[in-house]
Chain A
Amino acid sequence: MTPANDDRLLATRAARGDSQAFAELVHRHQQAIFNVAYRLLGNVQDAEDAVQETFLRVYRFFGRFDVNRPFAPWVKRIAVNVCLNRMTNRPAPRSLDADDAPPAPDPSPGPEVHTIQRDLGRRVWDEILALPPRYRAVIELRHFQGLSYAEIAEALNLPLNTVKSDLFRARKLLATRLRDLRENR
């Protein structure tokens, strides 16, 4: 049985009031939702709070969810909206917290590669977090969740051309800010 089918069975049971099924869904998807929240908010505590709020909303609005549709994209969309609401109330930090370093890269390359990859990873994180909230949201939905332009427009309730414009400008900003990294490779 594929994970998607598992999710559908669990979602069907959870929609009927099975709290064990709902707990299992939370356990399976909390990691992915945490990363969505962290990329948008840049802070572990805020991201954990956003994860909790996301699943509370999922629980509250489970009656509106069509169990025949994939569960993960729906939860991620709710997570993005939760995070966007938080972001409009508070600017995201300029860089990662000291305790929030990205995980260690693959140990097989040499130490120089470790450093470069760690620096690149951290630098990309920093530049993502430095983007304006709406640019961060479109980068998240396009590059990390694989949504199409139309799906992003629906998720963010924005016109299609606005989504494209935001996405292309966000990429251009990142390209400008990461140019020195690219030139030093």
Chain B
Amino acid sequence: MNHLSDFTINEYLDDALDAPARRAAETHLAACPACRARLDDLRFVFVSLERVADLRLHRDLTPAIMANLPRKAGLRFRQRALAAQGGVALGFALWLGAFLAALRPPTLPALPLPDLPTLQLPALLPLFPLDLFTSPLPNVLTFHIPDLPTLPLPTLPAFHPLPLLTAILASFALWLIGNRILLRTLPERR
């Protein structure tokens, strides 16, 4: 005869077997004294453990426990540290915005190009001493460089700091939310 495994006997006592397995175990236990003896041994353990009495505490531990809870100072320090960080971040954001607003690039004046002087080039000497040819060219070549129009440099548009400040303040608010300052309820601590 195959005996019940330790697992089966324990699960039987724990009421952890499904209905078919339980019926099979009960059928076997009815016919097997050895498995019944093992079952009784385990039942005795169950009963003994149930009858173990609780011990009473000799003293109330509540005051000692409450006295050892983390102090409020720690919490306040953390809040102050976070507030200081936030203040520094806000101050820097405002300074940066003001600094950028003051940095309007100057409008440069138009720079006219100078008139180039008339260039006079010397006439070429005749190649031959005899005036075999009458040079149709004049003695002096005169070049005139045309006057170029004045080219004004483009002026940059005026810089408005408001959009930049808005972006910086929005980022700061997101930072505060990210640190859960606005949304988190911190427990009161002694």
Q: A residues touching B (Cβ–Cβ < 8 Å)?
A: 14-19, 22-23, 26-27, 30-32, 34-35, 38-39, 44, 48, 51-52, 55-56, 59-60, 62-63, 100, 102-103, 105, 117, 120-121, 124-125, 128, 139, 142-144, 149, 164, 167-168, 171-172, 174-175, 178-179, 181-182
Q: Which of B44, B52, B190 is close to A175, meaning CB atoms less than 8 Å apart?
A: B44
Q: Give the residue name and chain of the A residue nearest to B75 (CB).
A: A17
Counting from the closest, the 10 A-B pairs by CB-CB distance are A17-B188, A17-B187, A175-B41, A143-B49, A168-B10, A174-B45, A182-B44, A35-B54, A27-B62, A55-B65
A35 surroundings in chain B (CB, below 8 A) = 54-55
A164 and B66 contact, CB distance less than 8 A: no
Question: A26 contacts B62, CB within 8 Å?
Answer: yes
Q: Of all chain A residues, which has the CB nearest B10?
A: A168
- Contact pattern, B 29-54, Cβ under 8 Å of A = 1, otherwise 0: 00000000000011011101111111
Decide if B19 is an interface residue (CB 8 Å cutoff). Answer: no
User: CB of B7 within 8 A of chain A?
Assistant: yes
Give B69's nearest chain A residue, CB to CB. Answer: A59
B: interface residue count bin = 35 or more
Give the CA-CA distance A32 to B56 in the complex, in Å. Answer: 9
Instruction: Tell me whether A100 and B55 are in contact (CB under 8 A).
Output: yes
Q: In the complex, what residues of B have CB within 8 A of residue A18's CB?
A: 188
**What is the minimal beta-carbon distance from B35 to any residue of chain A, in angstroms?**
14
Expressed in whole angstroms, the Cα–Cα distance for A143 and B50 within the complex equals 7
Chain A residue nearest to B52 (CB atoms) is A124
Query: Would you give the shortest CB distance from B83 to chain A, in whole angstroms?
Result: 19
Q: How far is B14's CA from A155's CA once the two chains are assembled, in angstroms? A: 18
Contact (A48, B41) CB under 8 Å given A19-B188, A34-B55, A56-B68: no
Nearest CB on A from B47, distance (A): 10
* B10 contacts A171, C-beta separation under 8 Å: yes
Which of A32, A117, A144, A164 makes the CB contact (< 8 A) with B7?
A164
